[in-house]
Structure 1
Amino acid sequence: MSAPEPAGDRVFAATRWTAIVIIPFLVVAASLLFAFPDRTGELFAWSIAPPLSAYLLASAYVGGICFFAGTAVARRWHRVRHGFPAVVVFAGALLIATLLHLDRFSQNLPFVVWMILYATTPLVVAGLAVAQRREDAGAPDDVDVAVPSAPRIVLVAIGAAAFLFGAALFAAPEWAVGFWAWQLTPLTAQVTGAVLSLSGVVNAPLLWDARWSAFRVLFPSQLVSLAAIAVSLLVRSGDLLWERPMTPVFVGLVAGAIVAYGAFTAWCELRHAAASRDRRGARRP
């Protein structure tokens, strides 16, 4: 048996085209949810109330747009590979939630599109990740920085907490209905759980991968999503149930996450810029 070809860190054409195909659906869905949250029953796959639940799902889609745009133009596979498991988990969770609550969905074209997308996306994205797995040999970019273990562990812990909480909402949606920061149904509770799970799956690879280049697309995408959630909380503050203890906790967690993720991303980017300057300086005669 011949030896396998060495990893080339390529992004396959199929991976790029999958990202390009997914982006318009995310753009349309996010636009509809943000612009017409009160008309989701006719324009979207199901009627979502209150509008803040629609905004939360749209915020996840905004982050997805940034990630898949980065995938479409990425020159190396390792720069985007850690986002693919998160897509599989998120899309798979929404497929399960859909099948559990089919009676809540509208019998319209948006639902048909929704069903096709969520029935195929987890399989397609997982298949691409498996097909590309040998492309990343663990080598850093030509200009790269190693993230120290302390901030990596902190971010993994934050992500794990978000994932576990999201998993609890998904597994016991009726429990979430009674205490969440805004009114939920069992379906929107599971959708909320799926959204919260994203950061946990994205952050987990920090346990074994210290290359900042492997997260330069993912963390800005998470920041964009968090910023969209923060704006949603401001715009739809009337949907928040301030008599519930979870409301100030959730608002505080979103604000804290923006500060933590923003500071971490800025710090890594400053170190990366310094490494780039050092490399250019070393090349000068």
Structure 2
Amino acid sequence: MGDRRADDRVLPITRWVALAIVPFLVVAAFLLFAFPQRTGELFAWAIAVPLSAFFLASAYVGGIWFFVGVVRARRWHSVKHGFPAVVVFAGALLLATLLHLDRFSQNLSFAVWMALYATTPFVVAALAVVQSPRDPRTPDSVDAAIPRRWRYVLAGIGAAALAFGAVVFVAPQFAMGFWAWPLTPLTAQVTGAVLTLTGVVNAGLLWDDRWSAFRTLFQAQLLSLVAISVSLVARRDDLLWERPMTFGLLVLVGGALVLYAVFTLRCEALSRRATASLRA
């Protein structure tokens, strides 16, 4: 007899937590994009290079899409793979904060930042554990199976991003010597935390081939990549063009944007084909 909890339901508490997080992400993204030179006054700490502010804001753009998706989700499995990524990202930012408390402004924004990151990793992890048995591990009635080659390629890209992000986080002084724009130890660790997001999300592709389980997440990643691409163009004067990493990063971001877009369109086409077959 199957587990009666496997009803694929998103619990009310999960929706309410997601709904509570969204306004913080919206405000943070707005402040970082609109006032990158006033972060010391308006944000949690003074970010010297605007491109670092834009990079973090780009991650928040994807986060907004994801958490709105959680609020609207009809099925738990459609958002489940995003929760471990949020735990790792938020946990890394909490650790970076504790390591660099002297860099933060003593203002309302820092109080909100500290409250958010002191609670979010643990609350989101608890929700993931509570919700986990509710995934029936079956496809939607109309779903698409992600081709194996796509799953392995994207999981490999994610693993590389996760490993690179971990290196940047653990060795910020090392990262400061080669990164595409000037970093401080704090912004290096924040950058490393952002890089882990795609790695943790894409790891789920190794054991889950349901497109319905990744649609919202890849839409969020695409939005983040678009925001990062626009940021790199808008703040191109912040880039250190003499460093090889700069050209490499531009190629990687552009390539990832194209690859993720093609992958998403491919899976949507498979999903439409499945719908047409069901109606035939």
Classify the TM-score, shorter chain: over 0.9
Counterparts in 2 of 1:153 and 1:45: CA distance versus 1, 3 Å? same
- TM superposition shift of 1:3: 8.5
Amino acid at match of 2:6: A
Matches within 5 A, 1:1-285: 4-281=3-280
Following the alignment from structure 2 to structure 1, what is the Cα–Cα distance between the partners of residues 278 and 34?
46
Superposition deviation, residue 244 in structure 1: 0.4
Q: 1:232-268 CA distances to partner (integer Å, 9 max, x unpaired)?
A: 0000000000000100000110000001111000000
Superposition RMSD in Å? 1.0
Q: 2:160 and 2:94 mapped to 1: Cα distance? A: 23
Percent identity over paired residues: 67
Structure 2 gap ranges (5+)? none
Distance 1:213 1:4 in 2: 21
Measure the CA separation in 2 of the matches of 1:201 and 1:49: 29
Q: Distance in 2 between matches of 1:40 and 1:206?
A: 37
Task: Give the residue type in structure 2 aligned to 1:54.
Answer: A
* Distance in 2, Cα, partners of 1:53 & 1:6: 43
Query: SS of 1:184's equivalent?
Result: coil
TM-score (normalizing by structure 1):
0.97
In structure 1, the gaps of 5 or more residues are none
Provide Cα deviations, 1:196-246, integer angstroms capped at 9, x if missing partner: 110000000100000111001000100000000000000000000000010
1:176 Cα offset (Å): 0.6
Q: Could you give the per-residue CA deviations for residues 142-171 of structure 1, whole angstroms, max 9, x where no partner exists?
A: 100111211100000000001100000000
- AA aligned opposite 1:130: V
Number of residue pairs matched? 280
Question: How many angstroms apart in 2 are the aligned matches of 1:94 and 1:101?
Answer: 10
Task: Give the Cα–Cα distance (whole angstroms) in 1 for the partners of residues 2 and 183 of structure 2.
Answer: 54
Distance apart, 1:137 and its partner CA: 1.9
Which stretch of the first structure deviates more once superposed, 271-280 or 2-11?
2-11
Distance 2:258 2:21 in 1: 30
Deviation at 1:5, TM superposition (A): 2.3
Tell me how far apart the structure 2 counterparts of residues 196 and 135 of structure 1 sit (CA, whole Å).
29
- Name the SS for the 2:138 alignment partner: coil
Q: 1:52 and 1:262 mapped to 2: Cα distance?
A: 24
Question: Distance in 1 between the 2:225 and 2:125 partners?
Answer: 25
The SS at the match of 2:215 is coil
For 2:131, the aligned partner's letter is Q
CA distance in 2, matches of 1:63, 1:227: 10
